[in-house]
Structure 1
Amino acid sequence: MSMSLLLACLWAVIANVLAMTPSKDHHWRNAYVLIAVGIPILGYITVQHGPWVGLLVLAGGCSVLRWPVIYLGRWVRRNVAAVKGPAE
């Protein structure tokens, strides 16, 4: 197994261990750290194994960090609606 996939597996294990620990801020600080560490790993995987494997790993990361992804989608939808203006 390549180094990039080993790093992704290690990231997933750490993410699951962090999810099991108690947190006062509902794990948002952990999510920010996981995102900051996961983006370079995802780029490394994409460079080594191609975009399809990169998309699979991205989907796995999004399933682990689903609430930041949901809030990002809501934020984008709200801002797109504000740019379009009120519906007629």
Structure 2
Amino acid sequence: MASVMGLLEERETAARVRVEELQAEADRILAELGAAEVVLERRVIARAELGEALAVGGDAVVAPVAEVQDPAPTVAGERGAPVAGSAASALTVGS
């Protein structure tokens, strides 16, 4: 018969493995979110630039565009890291 301490150690190990799996999944999702945010930013800028280019003498009506903040530069190996203050940083596990 297994000891109580041994059973607790097995459960702790299983919980640790689950936490590591979820952390890896969260990291993957945050990286994907970062890439999607970059694409969105580029689309917003492209639409604003096109609106400005099509405006003739200020007569054309251009929909207002929300200002997009420049993303913080990433360090090599930290691709997709959340930017402080962004929605992604609020999603980090353990915060």
User: Structure with the greater relative contact order (CA < 8 A, sep ≥ 6): 1 or 2?
Assistant: 2
Q: How does the TM-score come out when normalised to structure 2?
A: 0.32
User: TM-score, normalised to structure 1's length?
Assistant: 0.34
Task: Mark the structure with the bigger radius of gyration.
Answer: 2
